Amino acid sequence: MEKVYHGIPVSPGIVWGEALVYDPGTINVPRFKIKNPRDEYKRVQSAIDITKEELTLLYQKTLENFGKKQAGIFDAHLMLLEDETILVELKRRIHEELLNAESVLYDIAQKYSKDIKSTGNSFIEERTADVIDVIDRIIRNLLEQKRPDLDNIKKPYILLSVDLPPSETARLHPEKIRAIVLERGSTTSHVAILARSMKIPTIVGVSNLFNSYTAVIKGAAVDAISGILYINPTSDTILKLRQKKIQLSRRFLQYEKRIISHPSQTEDGRRISVLANIELPNEVDDNVKHLSAGIGLYRTEYLFLNKTEPPTEEEQYKEYLYVAKTLNPLPVILRTIDIGGDKLASYTNFIKEQNPQLGCRAVRFCLAHKDFFKIQLRAMLRAAANGNIKIMFPMISSIEELRDVKKILQEVKDELTSEQIPFNKEPEIGIMIEIPAAVLIADELAKECNFFSIGTNDLIQYSLAVDRNNENIAHLYDPAHPSILRMLKMTVSSAIKANIACSICGEMASDPLFTELLIGLGLNSLSMSSVSIPQIRALITKITYTEATEFSEKILKCSSSKEVRSILKERINTKFKNIISIV
């Protein structure tokens, strides 16, 4: 009997065949008292050395097979082995509590897992998963227990699992792994990044999958366009997928031809900039370099996570400068740090909060830690002297906040001037519109900055009071909600009136269902994951701005999400069916 599971497609493709259920195995970690802390720490240091050798080999293999961007993941893992956050805690507990190293490392991993659940931030969750992956590897080396080997798979399979650490994903052979389907993960996870590089169709976020099956499943099919896994698919399902795969191949060739022969503009000549969202410097891939109009959102948080000390000004400067020089003269929008003090507790005086998402995070944290904030601003201004860098502040909720951050920015400029350090004296300054309060005063905020970028992910969560990571209410997270669409229109109208640029950088930007509507609302800049750029750019070339404007006015009169989605789907399946179809 055919069973259907839904998830999030993160690497496109359609395949069918046998499926292998991969269980990485749980570690039975012993807990016992030791007699000699010095000897125990020598033992763990030896395990760390072995782990370092393993990760170095993985780095070299990934560099050789997939390039510097993907290998950079293991650079980060190697850096974690040197990070004092884990090592200091490990040494302290071994000496003070006389506990064996495996149990202490296990406790540290459990603490990381518990801490991230309270944030609701998928970016932080994925980056923290790196720490847990490295700790797991050290523990296994202490116990002399290796992970089940995926290298010896004899024939091609669709791989099903709860999750895959980056270090396991990098070992996969594309000729043996036809597709990946996981219960966990997100579009920004390292598994997703690696899978796209290896061109392995991948779906993540498939609930209640792993415990339902064991060993080998004779029949399975993966539609990583729509995010659907079929177990025991019928012959009719396989036939439909076969036809869709042929259509998909033709469509990607069509995307290439249209992008090469058409600039990024509508049929009636309105220019629409398509930019990329990145989190790491090594995410500047071919789509970003050759198909995008620059970086619309560079999330700088990664530099600050899992450290005992904040990155120095020089470290930040080099990271920002690399991206700016690589893409120059294209713009690079650097967003100042957008996480809370709970993730930086190892080097800040952080007081635990009940709800970090509504607490001291982003600009609020930066204003409360002025010296910390200034270091990042110094690095950004310096890098901006050598590239087209713009600076963006997240989570602005009032005029006072915006003026306060601009005041600190001016102080930093004055300091750099007095120190005779080269920097860009007048970079463009923008803000994220992601709080309902900011939408309602957008006309006033527009007078104080050079551009808006609408962060729909948080705007939807805050407006609809929905935690999209809470599976009990995630269905209520809906970008098609009429209130969200009206807030987009209000924001864009305020930007146009003030003659400043307005873009959108949330997941709505990468969803072709909304592309014509967003253009019709007046947005002329869309920023998204690089994998979505070819499809959206091709679609833009078939849109007429005057028609999109009329269409958006019709949509704004809708009273329900159901009505909005029905009209959007009918529109794209009729007017744009030669470019894309939405089921």
Contact 179/160 with Cβ under 8 angstroms? Answer: no
Quick one: 83 exposed, middle or buried, by C-beta within 10 A (0-12, 13-18, 19+)?
middle
Question: What does DSSP say about strands 451-454 and 429-433: parallel, antiparallel, or unpaired?
Answer: parallel
Cβ atoms of 148 and 23 closer than 8 Å: yes
Q: Which of 318, 254, 324 is nearest to 288 (CA)?
A: 324
Residue 407, Cβ density class (10 Å: 0-12 exposed, 13-18 middle, ≥19 buried): exposed
Q: Quickly tell me which residue has 């570690």 as its tokens.
A: 27
DSSP state of 210: G
d(CA 274, CA 251): 19
DSSP letter, residue 155: S
Task: Tell me the C-alpha distance between 67 and 236, whole Å.
Answer: 40
Catalytic (active site) residue 502: no
Instruction: Please say whether the beta carbons of 264 and 293 come within 8 A.
Output: yes
How many whole angstroms separate alpha carbon 292 and alpha carbon 274? Answer: 6
Catalytic member of 366, 449, 502, 505 = 505
Per the annotation, the verdict on 505 as an active-site residue is: yes
CB count in 10 Å sphere of residue 58: 20
Helix, strand, or coil (residue 97):
helix
C-alpha span between 382 and 370 (Å, rounded): 18
Q: Which of 190, 360, 369, 481 is catalytic?
A: 190
Element (H, E) at 430: strand 429-433
Q: Is 270 helix (H, G, I), strand (E, B) or coil?
A: coil
Residue 206: which residues within 8 A CB-CB, separation 6 or more?
5, 6, 7, 181, 182, 183, 229
Place of tokens 């470019």: 579
d(CA 83, CA 79): 6
Q: How many CB atoms lie within 10 A of CB 371?
A: 7
Helix (H, G, I), strand (E, B) or coil at 451: strand
H or E element that contains 50:
helix 37-66
Strands 8-11 and 389-393 turn out to be unpaired
Q: What angle do CA 150, 279, 171 make, to 5 degrees?
A: 10
Single-letter residue type at 388 = N
> In the beta sheet, which residues pair with residue 220?
17, 231
Complete DSSP assignment for 347-390:
GS-----S-GGGSSBTHHHHHHSHHHHHHHHHHHHHHGGGS-EE
Residues known to be catalytic:
190, 505
